[in-house]
Homo-oligomer: A and B are copies of this chain.
Amino acid sequence: MMGKLKSIDISMLSALAEPKRMAIVELLRDGPLTVGEIAKRLELSQPHASKHLKVLSDNGIVEVKPEANRRYYKLRLEPFQVIEYWATSFQTHLEKRLDNLDDYVQKLKNDRKRDE
Contact residues of A with B, CB < 8 Å?
Answer: 2, 5, 7-8, 10, 13-14, 16-19, 22, 26, 29-31, 75, 77, 80-81, 83-84, 87-88, 90-91, 93-95, 97
Most B-side CB within 10 Å, residue of A26, A80, A88: A80
B residues in contact with A8, CB < 8 Å: 22
Copy number in this complex?
A: 2
* Residue of B with least CB distance to A26: B7
Most B-side CB within 10 Å, residue of A19, A75, A81, A94: A94
Pick from B7, B10, B26, B75: contact of A5, CB under 8 Å: B26
**A7–B29 Cα gap in the complex (Å)?**
12
Q: Is the CB of A10 within 8 A of B22?
A: yes
Q: Is the CB of B13 within 8 A of A19?
A: no
Given contacts A31-B97, A84-B84, contact A16 B18 (CB under 8 A): no
Given contacts A5-B26, A10-B22, A17-B17, contact A83 B94 (CB under 8 A): no
